[in-house]
Every structure is written in C-alpha cells, then in structure tokens.
Homo-oligomer: A and B are copies of this chain.
Amino acid sequence: MSLGTALDRTDDAILRLLQKDARLSVKEIAAAVGLAPSSVHGRIRQLREAGVLRGAHAEVDPRALGIGLEALLMIGLSKHERDTVDRFLDDAVALPEVRAAFLVTGRYDVIVHVAVRDTQQLKDLALDHFTSRPAVTRIETSIIFEARRRHALPVYRAAG
C-alpha cells in the first residue's frame, strides 16, 4: 500500500533469498520458489521499480582493510532542533570512519557506529569530530567486542 504494491508470499521469498545472497541467479531463485525464471525475473524487476529492492552491497572483511576496532559512540545533544540534528547526522555519515548514525529516543540522542584502525584513532575521531562540537553535551564510548548480524529483515504481512 505504501507504494501501491502488495507483496505476496513469493515476493517475500525472493526478497529473503536476495537479502541472504544477492548473487543468486534468477534460475536458482526460480527453482527455490517454484516459478519459471522469466516469472521471477519479472517480479524482481517490479520490486526494483517499486523501490522495494534498493540495491545490493558486497560484504568485506574489516580486518583485511586494517580495521582493528569498531565502536558505538553514544552522544547527547544540547539542542534538539531539526537543523542541528540533521546537520549533525549529515556530518557524521560524511566521515569515512562512520558506518551508521542513528537518531534515537532515550538517554542519548545519537548513536554512531564507527570503524577505526585502533584506539588511538578512535580517540582522535571522538575528540576531533564529536566532543569538539558545540551541540554535543557528552559522549560515552562502547567498544564492540563482537557483532552478529542477520541480513534478512522480518516480514510483517498486512493481510493473511
């Protein structure tokens, strides 16, 4: 409904498979969902045109890139006006070290996920680009020991 298109269970299955492995061929997906390759191809094209399928991204081993440390920076802001917050998020994701930035409710206002070489660089990043900002009232740093991910989102169907 949000984009004028309702997904059926076959679409859900296609999306689930592509989230797990975007390099699956149409033929493999067709075999998995029980349709002909041409049908699956048409569905995938429609999902792309509808904006449901937004693209695909390769996953790379962080260690191979020299990333020795990832952390979450939990940040409190003094001003909560739209301009201040938007600007803060924009600037955060513009930094190459930033993987993600979340505007959230609760004890903090923004949570920033960063990937750096070592603790030295983490310190420099925090001091140079976050602590020094006027809107920032405080930062707590949580170093990530371990991260586990699930690449497929859950599906909540509107109608059975």
As a 0/1 sequence over residues 97 to 111 of chain A, the CB contacts with chain B under 8 angstroms (1 = contact) are: 111111111111001
List residues of chain B with CB within 8 A of the CB of A146: 89, 102-103
In the complex the two chains form, is A63's CB within 8 Å of B2's CB?
Answer: yes
Number of identical monomers bound together in the oligomeric complex: 2
Q: A2-B64, A65-B153 are in contact. Are A101 and B147 (CB under 8 A)?
A: yes
CB distance from A120 to the nearest CB of B (A): 11
**How many residues on chain A are close to B (CB under 8 Å)?**
75
A149 within 8 A of B: yes
Interface status of A142 (Cβ within 8 A of chain B):
yes
Within 8 A of B (CB), among A74-111: 74, 89-90, 92-93, 96-108, 111
Contact between chains at A153 and B53 (CB < 8 Å): no
Contacting pair B66 A149 (CB below 8 A)? no
Q: How far is the CB of A129 from chain B (nearest CB, A)?
A: 13
Interface, chain A (partner B; CB < 8 A): 2-3, 5, 7, 12, 15, 18-23, 50-68, 71-72, 74, 89-90, 92-93, 96-108, 111, 115-117, 121, 140-158
